[in-house]
Structures are given as C-alpha cells and as structure tokens.
Amino acid sequence: MFCVDVAINLPVKNIFQQFTYSIPSELEFLESGWRVVVPFGAQKVEGFIVGKRPLSSLAPEVCSKLRAVEAALGERPWFDQEMLATAQWLAQYYMCSLAEAMRLFVPGKTSIRRRAVKDDQGRLIRYEYEERLREKTLQALQITEAGRQVLALGGGPRLQPQLKALELLAVSRESLTLQELAENYISPSTAKTLAKKGWALIVPKRILRNSYVNPQQKAAVFQLTEEQEVAVKAITNAVQEGKQETFLLQGITGSGKTEVYLRAAAQAVGQGKQVLMLVPEIALTAQLVERFRAWFGDEVAVAHSKLSQNERGDVWYKMYMHQANILIGVRSAVFAPFADLGLVIIDEEHESSYKQEERPNYHAREVALIRCRHTQAPLILGSATPSMESYYRAQQGEYVHLRLKNRANGSSLPVVEIVDMREELKARNFSVLSRKLRQALVETAAAGEQAIILLNRRGYSTFVMCRDCGSTITCPHCAVALVYHSAAEDMRCHYCGNTAPVPRECPKCHSRRIKFFGTGTQKAEEELMALPEVRVLRLDQDSTIKKFAHMEILQSFARGERNVLIGTQMVAKGHDIPNVTLVGVLAADSSLNLPDFRASERAFSLLLQAAGRAGRGDRPGHVIFQAYDVENRVLQLAAQQDYDTFAQGELQAREAFFYPPFAEMLKLTLWDKDEGMGLATATRLVSYLQQLQLEDKLGEVMILGPFPALVPKVRDLYRFHVVVKAKKLELVKKALWESEFKNLKNLYFDVDPASVV
C-alpha cells in the first residue's frame, strides 16, 4: 500500500506545502509526475504527484485520516524526471510554490474545469469537475486478426476492393480515418463492410490541430561562409557527443545566424533527437518559421501565444510522442514535454519578452539552460547584441563565444548618420522629420525602394531634458535619469528614492528651455503621407490586435504593396527585406536615459536592429538617427554599430554600480490598500534584512528602498519596492524563506527583474 505527496494546483500564492493522500487499489500505478484529482477541503481540485512512498512510512493515526486520490488525469504521467527536477529548481530559484512552478508545464495551467451541480430549485449542491483538454478524435479503422487471415488467404474479384483496403490497413503503422482511406481510393461503403464483417475495428483516432499552416518554400542551400563553418562545426560536435555546452552565437545583422541554426538542428534531427527553438514573438519570425519548414517540412511544430488551449495541448502531445522533431515557440514553449531533447536554440536571446512579467517571473533563457543541463543538450544563444549577462558569461569562458562578423551574402553594413534636431529647430523646421530624412524618403520612394521609420517612443514625457544642450537630469547616486512625477511636481530616482525639484534652468548650460520630453506620433504619420509617392503602412499595437495581423502587415510590405513602414519596436525586428534601403529613427535618443539600469542596453540593441534592416540586398543601406543629445556615447556607438565597445563600457558601469551581471538582483513589491501600512511593512522588511546584513549573514549586499513604484497606486493598491543586490542572492532568499515575510499574501518576489521601476 502506498501514499502520494501532491502539490495542489490552485492559483493561490501561499500553499507551499504538499499534501499526502492514499491511493485506492485501482490507481496503484500512480507515480510521481501524474496529474490527479484530489479532495481539498470541500472541493475537488487538480494536483500533481511529486512523491510516492509506502503507507507504512506514516504514523498509524495519520494513515487513518488520509483522504484518497479521486482520479488520474490523462493517460500517462505529465511530468518526467527531468521536468520534475526543472520545476523544483524553478520554485526554489524564483521563490514560488512548487505547484505554481508545475502549472507552467501544463497547457492552460490547469487541466480540469469545475462544473456546478444544482438541484431542482437551482441550488448549488456541489462542484464536479471535467477534463479540459478535449482531444479531437475521428473514427478510424484498424485491422483485426480475422482481417489479417482473410488477407493471407486472398479471394475472388468481388473481394478485391476489400482486400485492397485490408492490405493498406495492414501496412499502415496506425489506424486510418475514413478520409485517409478515401485519399487511397477506398470508399466509405467498403470501410463499413470491413467493420461489419469483423475484419477491421472502428477506433477513435486523435487528430492534431494545426493552426499554423503556411505553404512550404523550397530550401535554399548555401555554401557556408568560413565563419558559419566554424560555428556549425563547434555546435554539431557538441550535438554529436550529446554534451551540454552553451554557445553564444554573436553575429551582426544579416550574418546568417539562421543558417547556423538550421545546420545544427539538422544534425540533431539526423541523430533522432528533438530541437526546441525559442523566438521572441512568432508573428515577427514568419520568415524564420518558413525557412525551418522548407528544410524540415512536417517535422516542425509551432507554438505561439495565440494558440487555443486545445491546440497547445496537441502540440505538446506531438512533441512528447515524438511525432515532430522541431518545436518553434515563444517563451512558454520552454515548458513543453519532449521525448528526446537534443538541442535548444534561443534566437535574439537578449529580448525582454523572454522574461515573464507576472508570477512566477521566470526567464526562459535560464529555464532552458537548466533543462539543457538535465538532458545534456547543447544550447545556442543567438544575437547581434547579446544581453550583458550572456556576453559576460562568454567572456568568462562559461559559454563558447562564436562570432559572425560579416554579412553572409557579402553586403556591407549600412552607413549611419546622426541628425541634430536642435539644428532643425534653429532653422525653423518644426516638423518631426529632419530635412535630411525627408529628402532621403523622397529619393527612396522615387527609386522604387522601401523605407522603415521607427518611432522610438518608449518612456515619453517622463524625464526632463534641456532643449538647448540636450542633457537630462540624472541622480547623483545612481547614474540614471530622474523621473518627473506630475502629482508632486518633482523628480525622483527609482533606484534610491532620492527626490529633487524640477530646476528652473539647465544645470549644465543654464538655458531655461527645460522640457518634459514627448512628441506626436500621429504628426509623423501625417507628415509622411504628405510626401510625394510615399504610401505609408503602419505597424503598432493598435493595428495588430487580430490573430496574424503582424504577419499580414509585414508580408504586404515585403511584397512591396507600400513603400514606407512606420511603427514602434516591431518594425525593427527580425525581417529580411532586400528592397529596404533606408531606415529612419525618430527620437533615437529618447529611451537612452530612462531610469533603469538596462535602459542603455535596450536602446542600443533596438537602434542596431533597426539599422540592420537597411541594405540587406545588393544595394547599400542608409540609416538616419534623429536626436537632440547627439553627443550621447551610446547613440554614437550605435551609429558606429560597435557592440563590443558599447558592451565593455556598459559592463564597467554595471560593475561600478553593482548591477547584474556583477550582482544578483531581487525586486520585492509590496501591495497594500493602506499607504501607511504598506510603507510600514516594507520598512519592517528592510530592517529585517539590514539587521542580517549587520550580522554579516547576507554576504556582499545592497538593500535599497522602500520607495514607491513608478506608478505608486494601481487599482487602489499602493505599491512599494525594495531592491536587493547581492553577490550571493541565495543567502537573501534563504533569509526571506525563513521569515514571516514568506507568507505575506501581498508581497511579491521578482528574481533577476527586467527593470527596477
């Protein structure tokens, strides 16, 4: 007799412990990894089995009180050993409950749905449950033993159609649906006859839905460049040996990283292994999916964020059953089950969309690394502008650093020019387009070529800038811009809480033309439309609410139906359109001074990506950055497309201010409907940590806050942040885990936060 430990799958933050249940004899096959239904209080809920032990290991009085597992869900354990281990790591590392970590692996987070059972008068009696994942099945035929005998004996002409059908069924690995039979010229009436005679059995067959259907193109096979060759060789060696190694594939835009991914994937698939490829946003990577489809055809499954729960379930099933070899998906695909994972690729590994901004705040790159370690699968991190974390690890020798320094097709990087918008104002040009960009647009359109205009509008109106010298007002302690708070009409530092009044004049040049930065995106669009021969297409959040709208807009632009594409970040990413020869970035300096330690890194990579869209074909590209703060070092380096110099400077600054990758970071957010109470709790938390710091129990650590969040009140709840930077965050996590704060319902932990505001 056995009992099992179950993690209860409820969306409640603070159920940290597991619960023990007995298993009835008919469910004795249950083991770790199964999803089950268990009674919990008066409800029936889903749980995940995380351990199994003999009933005799419990005290008799505990035994007698045990409740029993009610039912098993699915046909097999959902979690294998590797997934269980990853979930355990995740709960510990990201400071969440085991159930919270495990539900990430289940499509739709929970696999049962509650159904109210009511009596005649409509009063609620109880809740029942039903399985949520509905498998789509069709009737199919499977040959029986009798059928095989008939086939062996053969028969006269009247039996020929039936014999032909039996033959087909006999050689087919699985059952065949009526439609599949019809495709082989076997009529439904013949099929029915087989069933009636007992020569075949009617069985349900699971049909996998695939919402991502795109015609296949032919694979282009290139002669690899020397740089590509070196990279491919290093990676395929690791794949061949089944050795966990992480490769940072740093290649400039257009250097042919995709070709390297394809060859590495081909090696893994050739060895009968599976490949996981993560992308930041499926809609922006249509070209990449097409290239994989062209190489691998039906071997490729795609999991994007707009799949229904059932569709996602089907994709997961396919991977587990080894019916597909390659899974291309967004962040959450890192939790897919695999039969035999042999390689993971993360494209654009620096993208912030890999970090989940809600609980549990995992980073797909870190989860992937853990899964790779558990399965001995090599990991490729690809980017033109690697994250500081990955770049640093590569420099430290933790990752193998592979570089592609040239464009694969021999084209050169575009020429980037910075236009000083202060000069435009002086010349009384009040347009959002500089004279130079306007001129270039007109010429590009006239030449039958295309242009992309990036509106870099993140963080407008939040910081204070001098119109004359372009400098922003920054915190003396943290080297980040101060944020203007309209309520208090002052400026604040979101790292240390320092506040300052808005100065009347610029501290640097004493000009009085101090402005809160902002500009009109509509104005830009209108001005573009007024230019001769310019036909504008817009790509932004508003225009892409529909399922595949992104892709349609980009494809329409790629086909040349319009000649100017204008939009936010999305226009800068992923696509490869040879006819684009001009890229303009409006307000290129606007996000350089956001109050966040990753502001420069993000801005730099966006500028480089945007520039990289130009001149990918046989004509050279031209890029214009419009800016006020034209001397800005980051802007200058972006114009020179010099990532390494940027990264070295950025790493020095990170080290000096004790930011990642030199420190591990934890952001704690406290929510309270009472402002005073919230602040008091947050202060108590800080004191607790400071006390431990004094006792030297936390190692090298910096504790900042509490300070109000950038948006201090959300839905009537006040938010306070505490930020901890530590050499060994483990010690801080442990201290919090052993404290009263662990169980606070209104305290949230964000490990390795993407930002601090």
* Per-residue CA distances from 463 to 419, 432, 700 (Å): 22, 19, 32
Q: What are the CA-CA distances from residue 385 to residues 224, 606, 755 (Å)?
A: 22, 9, 18
Q: Are 249 and 257 in contact (CB under 8 A)?
A: yes
Residue 495 binding target from Zn ion, ligand ADP, none, CB below 5 to 8 Å by type? Zn ion
Contact partners, residue 305, CB within 8 Å, separation at least 6: 282, 330, 332
For ligand ADP, how many residues bind (rule: CB under 6 A)? 16
Tokens 């032909």, residue located: 164
Q: How near is the Cβ of 278 to ligand ADP at its closest, in Å?
A: 14
Considering beta carbons, is residue 130 or 226 the nearer one to ligand ADP? 226
SS (H, E, C) 425-471: HHCCCCCCCCHHHHHHHHHHHHCCCEEEEEECCCCCCCEEEECCCCC
CA distance 59 to 81: 28
> Is residue 477 involved in binding Zn ion (CB under 5 A)?
yes
- Helices 643-656/599-611 angle, 10° precision: 170
Under the criterion CB under 5 A, does residue 463 sit at the interface with Zn ion? no
Query: What's the burial of 489, exposed, middle or buried (CB within 10 Å: 0-12/13-18/19+)?
Result: exposed
- Of the two residues 196 and 218, which places its CB atom closer to ligand ADP in the complex? 218
Q: Which does 595 bind (CB under 5 to 8 A by kind): ligand ADP, Zn ion, none?
A: none
Instruction: Out of 143, 416, 475, 586, name the contact with Zn ion by CB under 5 A.
Output: 475
Nearer to ligand ADP, 254 or 712 (CB): 254
The interface region with Zn ion, picked from 319-327, 390-398, 426-434, 495-503 by CB under 5 A, is 495-503
- The piece of 372-380, 502-510, 524-532, 729-737 that touches Zn ion (CB under 5 A) is 502-510
Give ∠ CA 368-372-373 in degrees, rounded to 5: 120
CB 254 → ligand ADP: shortest distance, Å?
Answer: 4
Q: How many residues are present in the chain?
A: 757
Name the binder of 442 from ligand ADP, Zn ion, none, CB < 5-8 A by kind.
none
Q: Does 228 bind ligand ADP (CB under 6 A)?
A: yes
Q: Which two tokens stand for residue 249?
A: 């594939």
Smallest CA-to-CA distance from 607 within 456, 737, 501 is with 456
Task: Copy the structure tokens of residue 29.
Answer: 């096959």
Three-class DSSP category at 272? coil
Q: Which of 498, 499, 568, 739 binds Zn ion (CB under 5 A)?
A: 498
Rg (CA), the chain: 30
128 vs 229 by CB, closer to ligand ADP: 229
What are the residue ranges of helices labelled H in 675-715? 675-694
Dist. CA 262–CA 287, nearest whole Å: 13
Among 408, 624, 627, 670, contact with ligand ADP (rule: CB under 6 A): 408
257 binds ligand ADP per the rule CB under 6 A: yes
Q: What is the 3-state secondary structure (H, E, C) of 321-372?
A: CCCCCEEEECHHHHHCCCCCEEEEEEECCCCHHHECCCCCCCEHHHHHHHHH
Comparing CB distances to ligand ADP, the nearer of 240 and 409 is 409
Cα 392–336–359 angle (5° rounding)? 65
Is 406 a binding residue for ligand ADP by CB under 6 A? The answer is no
Q: Which helix (H) or strand (E) holds 552?
A: helix 549-558
At 280, the amino acid letter reads: P
Considering only residues 185 to 204 of the shown chain, the ones binding Zn ion according to CB under 5 A are none
Question: Which of ligand ADP, Zn ion, none sits in contact with 478, Cβ below 5 to 8 A by type?
Answer: Zn ion
Task: State which of residues 81, 217, 439, 511 lies at the interface with Zn ion (CB under 5 A).
Answer: 511
Query: Which partner in ligand ADP, Zn ion, none is near 498 (CB below 5 to 8 A by kind)?
Result: Zn ion
**Residue 4, beta-bridge partner list:** 21, 52
- Which segment (486-494, 545-553, 715-723, 735-743) binds Zn ion by CB under 5 A? 486-494
Cβ within 8 Å of residue 718, ≥6 positions away = 671, 672, 673, 674, 675, 678, 679, 708, 712
What mask of x and - would describe binding to ligand ADP in positions 433 to 472, judged by CB under 6 A? ----------------------------------------
Residue 251 touching ligand ADP (CB under 6 A) = yes
Q: Mask of contacts with ligand ADP, 568-607, x by CB under 6 A?
A: --------x-------------------------------
Binding-site partner at residue 475 among ligand ADP, Zn ion, none, CB < 5 to 8 Å by type: Zn ion
Shortest distance (Å) from residue 402 CB to ligand ADP? 12
433 belongs to the binding site for Zn ion (CB under 5 A): no
- Output the smallest distance, CB 448 to ligand ADP, in A: 20
Told to check if 509 binds Zn ion by CB under 5 A, we report yes
Tell me if 258 contacts ligand ADP by CB under 6 A: yes
Q: Based on DSSP, count helices (H) and strands (E) in the chain, helices before strands.
A: 22, 33
Among residues 247, 495, 625, 671, which is the contact residue for Zn ion, using CB under 5 A? 495
The answer to whether 513 contacts Zn ion (rule: CB under 5 A) is no
Complex with Zn ion: residue 118 or 508, whichever CB lies closer = 508
Closest separation in Å from C-beta 613 to ligand ADP: 10
Complex with Zn ion: residue 525 or 629, whichever CB lies closer: 629
Q: Pick the piece of the chain touching Zn ion (CB under 5 A) from 319-327, 466-474, 585-593, 749-757.
A: 466-474
CA-to-CA dists, residue 586 to 95, 379, 538, 562, 583, angstroms: 41, 36, 15, 20, 10
DSSP-assigned beta bridge partners for residue 359: none
Rounded distance between C-alpha atoms, residue 438 and residue 695, angstroms? 63
The binder of 222, among ligand ADP, Zn ion, none, by C-beta within 5 to 8 A per type, is ligand ADP
Q: Which is nearer to ligand ADP, 262 or 539 (CB)?
A: 262
Fill in the per-residue mask, 360 to 399: x = in contact with ligand ADP (CB under 6 A), - = not in contact: ----------------------------------------
# binding residues, Zn ion (CB under 5 A): 14
Q: Could you give the string, one character per residue 206-225, with x where binding to ligand ADP holds by CB under 6 A and - elsewhere? A: ----------------xxxx
Give the interface with Zn ion as residue ranges (CB under 5 A).
Answer: 466, 468-469, 475, 477-478, 493, 495-496, 498, 506, 508-509, 511
Give the interface with ligand ADP as residue ranges (CB under 6 A).
Answer: 222-225, 228, 251, 253-259, 408-409, 576
